[in-house]
Each structure stands twice: as structure tokens, then as C-alpha cells.
Amino acid sequence: MFGKLASSEGVAKDFGLLLIRLGLGVFMFVHHGYDKITGGPERWEGVGGAMANLGIAFAPVAWGFLAAFAESVGSILIVLGPLFRLATLMLAFNMFVAMLMHLNMPADNPASGWAGAERAMVYMIAYLGLFFTGPGRFAAKLTKAERR
């Protein structure tokens, strides 16, 4: 019934990658990135404090800004396609830190544990999968390496 559209080759594969890129990128930007990037230094400091779960307690504002940058600008790059693999790695790392944050929360916090970390883990897995597959044919490319 679906013929070539349900195939795992050609335009169907590229269309599937485009749908995944659009879904992940738009949802991450709208629900996480925009608020963080516009939140300013106070918000960035709180977000950057999650790096303490990796033993990194210095420069929380800088780390928070980098997280906000990844979730906002990185999401836009994933939607559009340029610097795609760099953006997926930035976001996968971001989600790894978010996962650790949820896993290290006190047990009485409703966002703690595996249930609280689930969303970050799903995003992380999706970003890593996209890193390996690439953006597909329907993506803007900036460099020769990205055109391969």
C-alpha cells in the first residue's frame, strides 16, 4: 500500500530522518532551549550547576550558557542540517548531564530516579543515533565533509 514511502531506502529514509530532525529539534527548542537561552546568567548558573554531578564545580554560568546554546542553537542546527553531527554530540552530552542530574536528585523529588531521567535518556539515545546516521538528503550543508 505504501510502496516506496515505506521503504528503508532512498527518499523514504531521508524523509524519515527529516521528520525525526524536525520533531526533536522543534520540541527541544520550544520546551527547553528557548527558556534557557533567554533566561540569562541567573538561569545559566542554575543549569550549569548540574555539572557538579561530573565533579565539575567551576564556572557554572559558562556551563549553563553552553547547555542553553546547545538546546537552542543546536536544535536549530539539527532542524536545518548544517553542523549536524556537532549539534547532535553537544545535545547528547547535554542530555547525559541532565540524566545524571535526575539520577542524583533526592529520592523524595518527583523528578528523581529513572522515571525522572527517562526523557533525557530518550533524547540522548536519539541524538546519538542521529550522529551515526547523519541528517539525510534534506539538510543544508556547510562543509565538504558534511556533503559526503
User: 6-35, pLDDT tens digit by residue?
Assistant: 666 678 999 999 999 999 999 999 999 999
In which band, very low, low, confident or very high, does the pLDDT at 63 lie, cut at 50, 70 and 90? very high
- pLDDT of 4 > 90? The answer is no
**Tell me, what's the pLDDT at 6?**
65
**Tell me, what's the pLDDT at 65?**
98
- pLDDT of 121 > 80? The answer is yes
What separation in angstroms does the CA of 131 have from each of 57, 73, 78, 92, 136? Answer: 29, 17, 10, 9, 11
User: 129-145, pLDDT tens digit by residue?
Assistant: 999 999 999 998 776 66
Phi-psi region of 40 (alpha: psi -120 to 50; beta: other; left: phi over 0): left
**Tell me, what's the pLDDT at 2?**
60
Q: Show the cell assigned to 30.
A: 520550544
Residue 68 · residue 39 · CB < 8 Å: yes
Looking at per-residue confidence, does 2 or 47 come out higher? 47
**Tell me, what's the pLDDT at 105?**
93
**Tell me, what's the pLDDT at 10?**
77
**Tell me, what's the pLDDT at 146?**
57
Q: Show the cell assigned to 43.
A: 538561569
User: 70-107, pLDDT tens digit by residue?
Assistant: 999 999 999 999 999 999 999 999 999 999 999 999 99
